[in-house]
Chain A
Amino acid sequence: MKTVLLFDPAPPRLRWVCYNEGILDSGVCDPDNTSISSVSTGLRDKCEIDAVGYVLYNGGKRITNSGEIVTSPVLASLEGSIGILPEYNELTYKAVNNTIQNLRSVPHIVLCETGLFSNMPPESSTYAVPAELRERELRRYGGYGLEHEWSLAQTKRMVGTDLKRIVSVYLGGTTNVAAILEGNAVETSIGFTPIEGIISEGGCGDIDPTVVFYLLSSGFSLHETNHLLLEESGFKALLGKSARIEDVVGGHPGKSYDFAYRLYTYQVLKSIGAFVSVLGGVDAIVFSSSHTGKYMKFMRGLCNQLEFLGVTCSGSGPEKQPFVLSSPDSRVKVLCFAYDRWEMLAEKTNHIINMKDENHD
């Protein structure tokens, strides 16, 4: 593995990590000040940077690969995609633009969370709205593509072959479900923004769009409406206080926690059903999370509800990584992978530079 410097936007700043088989150094920096000397005094002495990776949360219609080496046209595309998710994308753009001038000799890679979904079939990616609105960059972009790709690679490594139809479930503060047909994403629960789809810590998930207009016509400002749907809804609204999803699935006692758990499980269950339908059946259901231990009860509960699909659960408790939740004779495999975000990003960056080197040889 080569040593990589990774940037991940966390508005209003960026988290960074220097990684090689583990975290060598880490911190938080301003987007305008990403030179090596300023993100970490002394980093230069500890390690030589071989490449830099930057997370881009929404590549819009311009950045359509999950890993892309920065060139002038890519930098221009990156700038052009700021508007689709300004708060985050501007940080990514600034970090690339500044770092590239300080580290001219190494490759810079944009790691795009929506890349996996940029080739979804049009019936999945299009909203049924007039052309006038569709032309405003309105489409379903999906999210957590890097996580799903990682999870699919693990599945292949474990099963030893490509499975045709996979439903991949990323479990985190925002949950995302994706339908994968022969390695390609064909559906996903996140749409134009991560608010569409499943309930999240502060986000409402799928609701009737009429609600938004009711709020606006009752005197709520655009800013207040956005804030309400993004920050004040979801588990926070159900529980009456800020909560991590790990608390909801982790068996926290209390009526409102039970209800939140029930609602969340139901939404994930429906999403899996919808995507099995889109795929015309399913060969594996794959979960990934950085807190798999907390989700054990949740995943087992879901498996029991998916018996009609041919899922048979193994009775035993959590075993060593990665977990196989289905029994050996289950028609549908159910797997669960624990992942580490920085490791995943470092692997992806390495993978892209290796491919580049191979192409050069």
Chain B
Amino acid sequence: MNVLVFNCGSSSLTYKLFKVRSPGKREVLLAGKAHRVQVKGTEPSYLTFNFGGEEEKKVVPLNSHATAANLVLDFLKDHNLEVDYIGHRFVHGGGSFSETTLVNERTLGVLGQCVPLAPLHNKVALDVILVSRKLLPEAKHYVVFDTAFHKTIPSYANTYPLPKTIVRRFGFRKYGFHGLSYSYVLRSLQDYLGSSLENSRIVACHLGTGGSSVAAIWRGHSLDTSMGFSPLSGLVMSTRCGDIDPMMATYLMVTYGYRPELLMELLNKESGLLGISGFSSDIRDIINRYHEDGNEETDLAIKMYVHRIKKFIGSFVAALGGIDLLVFTDDIGLHNWYIRQKVCQGMDWCGIEINEYQNVGSSGDEISSINSRNSAVGVWVVPNDEEAVIYLEGERLLQNENRIAV
């Protein structure tokens, strides 16, 4: 049995084709990524195929995610690769979806209604679902939601105290994101430790090159997270502002005549690290520049980035009534020892203490512990794999289906 996984990013499409030998035993037959999809710029877009031990790079115009998906499906056809199941990542399931779901006409309609919740991500994911269904009508399609992991956040933590009619009309509340990453990391750490994390109070930091968030995890479930109704709030991100005063927007419009569309664009695409540093949205560039000439903007950008992470860790430690495990994941969390060190500095008040050598030495490619021997809190670097979660979710869905059938 073969399972194809599509993972739409805002300007990329990652895919993997898994061959399942027996339950729990799988291998990757084909993998690759479409780069610079829908990006207007000087560099061309391209698509990669890792197949049979060789990597092929195809430079081709990719003006939509559907185009990229189409090319992947063509490749499968040309190489006689069959697909039984296709798993799709859908960022924002709103209040309508709290778990992995099979795609049918009815769910398609509801997915369509979810598009405005995350216009950038949801629209392209839906397009990819539609084109795959058209080209592979025999296969079963299912959707996995980034918001599903956070469905356990209690109402006192996810409620925005806005008038009830407004909340009902727009579905305003905290949803939270990066759920696939958090659930993979939890599963992976649990397998590695060989013991249940049921009784561990966990704070996990997903620090990406685009979006970042922190989650408080209790009894294996999400208790709170830094992102909210949309992926705009919470941490200082590469180009997103994170938490700001909600009155700021109306102040700028009333006093300086900003148009809402322009402001929304500024807060999503020109803010965060880019807005502060003035030259880069990438914390790695900013750290390098800071070490070269130590200018004020780069210093401030790094301080703000770290400060906001520390605030969220502190508030989640309070929410959990203490902390047992601190976990770092995604690009920056895995590969940037400098940020991990800054975040963990002065955190002995809650028992966090890292070993500098282990921290610097951690490759980020495999699970590693970076806490010092005396640290009361286990500090871990744990790689994530969103495609694997999409696959595993499918496996679970399938098992449930079969059980029902029996």
* Residues of chain A having any CB pair with chain B under 8 Å: 83, 121-124, 126-133, 136, 138, 140, 187, 191-193, 195-196, 199, 204-218, 222, 225-226, 228-230, 232-235, 237-238, 240, 259, 262-263, 266, 269-278, 280-282, 305-309
Tell me whether chain A's interface is mostly helix, strand or loop, or mixed.
Answer: helix
Query: For residue A190, which residue of chain B has the nearest CB?
Result: B245
A233 touches B233 (CB 8 A): no
* B179 proximal to A (CB < 8 A): no
B349 touches A282 (CB 8 A): yes
A212 touches B246 (CB 8 A): yes
Collect the chain B residues with CB atoms within 8 Å of residue A218's CB. Answer: 170
- Rounded to whole angstroms, the CA-CA distance of A270 and B162 in the bound complex is 20
Q: Taking A126-B304, A127-B244, A136-B256 as contacts, is the C-beta distance between A266 and B164 under 8 angstroms?
A: no
Q: Taking A212-B249, A263-B161 as contacts, is the C-beta distance between A270 and B349 under 8 angstroms?
A: no
Q: Taking A209-B232, A238-B161 as contacts, is the C-beta distance between A126 and B300 under 8 angstroms?
A: yes
Collect the chain B residues with CB atoms within 8 Å of residue A205's CB. Answer: 161
| Nearest chain B CB to A164 CB, angstrom units | 12
Tell me whether chain B's interface is mostly helix, strand or loop, or mixed.
Answer: helix
- Rounded to whole angstroms, the CA-CA distance of A123 and B309 in the bound complex is 12
| Nearest chain B CB to A95 CB, angstrom units | 23
* B322 proximal to A (CB < 8 A): yes
Which of B155, B161, B233, B314 counts the most chain A CB atoms within 10 A? Answer: B161
Partner among B250, B256, B304, B348 whose Cβ is within 8 Å of the Cβ of A128:
B304
- Rounded to whole angstroms, the CA-CA distance of A126 and B313 in the bound complex is 20
| Nearest chain A CB to B142 CB, angstrom units | 28
Collect the chain B residues with CB atoms within 8 Å of residue A132's CB. Answer: 266
- Contacts A/B (CB < 8 Å), 12 sampled: A126-B276, A128-B273, A130-B266, A133-B266, A204-B161, A210-B230, A210-B264, A222-B253, A222-B254, A232-B162, A266-B319, A269-B319
216-251 of chain B: CB within 8 A of chain A: 224, 228-230, 232-233, 236, 241-251
Q: Taking A127-B248, A222-B254, A276-B314 as contacts, is the C-beta distance between A263 and B230 under 8 angstroms?
A: no
Collect the chain B residues with CB atoms within 8 Å of residue A266's CB. Answer: 156-157, 319
B230 touches A208 (CB 8 A): yes
* B316 proximal to A (CB < 8 A): yes
* B312 proximal to A (CB < 8 A): yes
- Rounded to whole angstroms, the CA-CA distance of A276 and B170 in the bound complex is 35
Partner among A210, A216, A282 whose Cβ is within 8 Å of the Cβ of B229:
A210
A273 touches B314 (CB 8 A): yes
- Rounded to whole angstroms, the CA-CA distance of A129 and B233 in the bound complex is 13
| Minimum-distance CB pairs A-B, first 8 | A277-B314, A273-B318, A208-B228, A281-B349, A270-B315, A280-B346, A196-B245, A308-B322
Q: How many residues of B contact A (CB 8 A)?
A: 72
Question: Scoring B residues 244 to 275 as 1 if CB is less than 8 Å from chain A, else 0, what string do you get?
Answer: 11111111111110001001101100111111
* Residues of chain B having any CB pair with chain A under 8 Å: 155-157, 159-164, 166, 170, 172, 174, 224, 228-230, 232-233, 236, 241-256, 260, 263-264, 266-267, 270-276, 278, 300, 303-304, 306-308, 310-319, 321-322, 346-350
Collect the chain B residues with CB atoms within 8 Å of residue A122's CB. Answer: 300, 303-304
Query: For residue A304, which residue of chain B has the nearest CB?
Result: B321
Collect the chain A residues with CB atoms within 8 Å of residue B233's CB. Answer: 206-210
A280 touches B349 (CB 8 A): yes
Collect the chain A residues with CB atoms within 8 Å of residue B321's CB. Answer: 305, 307-308
Collect the chain A residues with CB atoms within 8 Å of residue B273's CB. Answer: 128
- Rounded to whole angstroms, the CA-CA distance of A309 and B347 in the bound complex is 12
A305 touches B247 (CB 8 A): no
Collect the chain B residues with CB atoms within 8 Å of residue A187's CB. Answer: 311
Collect the chain A residues with CB atoms within 8 Å of residue B310's CB. Answer: 277-278
Query: For residue A258, which residue of chain B has the nearest CB?
Result: B156
Partner among A126, A131, A216, A277 whose Cβ is within 8 Å of the Cβ of B347:
A277
Collect the chain A residues with CB atoms within 8 Å of residue B228's CB. Answer: 207-208, 210
Which of A234, A240, A270 counts the most chain B CB atoms within 10 A? Answer: A270
Partner among B164, B256, B271, B311 whose Cβ is within 8 Å of the Cβ of A278:
B311
Collect the chain B residues with CB atoms within 8 Å of residue A309's CB. Answer: 349
A199 touches B161 (CB 8 A): yes
B255 touches A83 (CB 8 A): yes
Query: For residue A207, which residue of chain B has the nearest CB?
Result: B160
A228 touches B250 (CB 8 A): no
Which of B163, B224, B318 counts the most chain A CB atoms within 10 A? Answer: B318
- Rounded to whole angstroms, the CA-CA distance of A205 and B228 in the bound complex is 13
A217 touches B156 (CB 8 A): no
Partner among A138, A280, A281, A308 whose Cβ is within 8 Å of the Cβ of B317:
A308
Query: For residue A259, which residue of chain B has the nearest CB?
Result: B156
Q: Taking A129-B266, A192-B248, A308-B321 as contacts, is the C-beta distance between A124 and B307 under 8 angstroms?
A: yes
B236 touches A196 (CB 8 A): no
